[in-house]
Amino acid sequence: MVLQTPEKAGEVYKWEGSVEELKGLVTERAITGETMLLNMGPHHPSTHGVLRLLLELDGEEIVSCLPDVGYLHTGIEKNMEHKTYEKCVTLTDRMDYLAPMSNNLAFCLAVEKLVDLDVPERAQIIRVICMELTRLNSHLVWLGTHALDMGAMSVFLYCFREREIILEMFEMLSGQRMMSSYIRPGGVWRDIPPEFMPALEKFLDYMPGKIDDYEKLLTNNPLWIDRTQGIGIIEPDMAMAWGVSGPSLRGSGVSWDIRKAMPYSGYEQYDFNVPVGEHGDVYDRFYVRVLEMRESVKILGQALKRLTPKGPFRSDNRKFVPPPRSELGQSMEAVIHHFKLWTEGFSAPDEEVFAAIESPRGEIGCYLHGAGDNKPRRVHFKTPSFMHIAALPVMSKGHLIADLVGIIGSVDIVLGDCDR
């Protein structure tokens, strides 16, 4: 194959070796030049991060799509093998940076399962509140950017206005807006501050009206419907075979929500519905997420009512959870436990566990293998974005290149989550 570039016009280049590599990945038509190979990304605004797609195009139609990931690979799993369990929590925030609390929880549930640690009631309620706020936070960013990709500019600005309120509440809880590391093995970092509950109450009064506003802008908008209905259809069988999970799976009509089916953190005590789509297209995935936001507001309201009696917010098992600051001045044991836990950490058995939760994007699974000492032998995160990008070639086949942008947006990927 001969390639010519404008600045080297006249000179003839031999492109060696690479054609063989491309065989099997793209069709033979690309190698003869009948179809066009187009590089999309890694710095493309609609790939939601640094995702590179190698597209084979027949006119504007996608013949094949090869995702190339790894630009954000930071070796988080490798780093965790060299840190104690408490220190690993801060790394989990950095994976899915739009839903940091979900990653915290997946990891903490795995640690708690491995060392058999109980979590008090109040901590579980606080965790549920954090999960649902995270879900709203993540869905707001998703809705804003997805609409922006499709050309609806104003939704983006409204969504980020409401997201700011959630981030302020995270700041009240943990002192951090995004990388909160608030959920720790055995409970949460500290009790909720007094100003948090009024802020949450105000937010719950405010939010349903705002979701109505987004729906007014999009749900019945003919342009939006034209761009999304019948696009990027995922059949339920195909979705399950390719490991698609979360709202993208429910958009295809599979009623599977880990919160409902295999509850964790006391989700069985809340009354909520699992919205399910019908056609599995981009529109259904959009509408499932909008309905999920309403369900999240509902769960938050129920959790807020249960928050009233005070109680312990983390386990009092001093072998795993550091004592409160106030005890350090009075108790020698507390000083010893504090010192031991923050220098050496706690030990976990040489066994393996798997814990999975329903994150805003889908199923986050944490595979944790202890080593019999204070550091894990292996941590592996199964992340929803990873599975969704892996399924992208199947979803996008035969669509126009403009629809690809909508399909990428609709499965809600975060590249930090994918590459880890």
Partner 1 sequence: MTIPSALDPAVAVRTALPDVLLDTVEFRGETTLVVARERIAEVATVVRDTPGLVYNFLSDISAVDYWEPYGGWGERPERFAVSYHLLSMLYKRRLRLKVYVPEDDPVVPTIIGVWPAANWLEREIHDLMGIRFDGHPDQRRLMLPDDWQGHPHRRDYPLGYETIMFSFNADEIMKHKPFAKE
182 forms part of the interface with partner 1 (CB under 8 A): no
**Shortest distance (Å) from residue 369 CB to partner 1:** 5
243 forms part of the interface with partner 1 (CB under 8 A): yes
Place of tokens 């060696």: 16
Report the site for partner 1 in 70-129 (rule: CB under 8 A). 70, 73, 75, 77-79, 81-82, 113-114, 116
Binding residue for partner 1 (CB under 8 A) from 240, 290, 304, 328?
240
**Which residues make beta-bridge pairs with 356?**
365
Question: What's the CA dihedral at 102, 106, 108, 109 to 10 degrees?
Answer: 130
356 forms part of the interface with partner 1 (CB under 8 A): yes
In the complex with partner 1, which residue's Cβ is closer, 190 or 382?
382
Give the range of 57-65, 140-148, 192-200, 236-244 binding partner 1 by CB under 8 A: 236-244
Measured CA to CA, the distance from residue 213 to residue 415 in angstroms comes to 29
Site string for partner 1, 401-420 (x = CB under 8 A): ------------------x-
In the complex with partner 1, which residue's Cβ is closer, 162 or 363?
363
Binding residue for partner 1 (CB under 8 A) from 111, 386, 399, 414?
386
**Which residues make beta-bridge pairs with 13?**
3
**Which residues make beta-bridge pairs with 67?**
53
352 forms part of the interface with partner 1 (CB under 8 A): yes
264 forms part of the interface with partner 1 (CB under 8 A): no
**Shortest distance (Å) from residue 80 CB to partner 1:** 11
**Shortest distance (Å) from residue 79 CB to partner 1:** 7
334 forms part of the interface with partner 1 (CB under 8 A): no
194 forms part of the interface with partner 1 (CB under 8 A): no
In the complex with partner 1, which residue's Cβ is closer, 236 or 323?
236
344 forms part of the interface with partner 1 (CB under 8 A): no
Measured CA to CA, the distance from residue 143 to residue 249 in angstroms comes to 17
Distances (CA, A) of 241 to 30, 38, 133, 282, 377: 28, 28, 30, 19, 30
Site residues (vs partner 1, CB under 8 A): 21, 24-25, 69-70, 73, 75, 77-79, 81-82, 113-114, 116, 240-243, 245, 254, 256, 261-262, 351-354, 356, 363, 365, 367, 369, 377-378, 380, 382, 386-387, 389-391, 394, 419
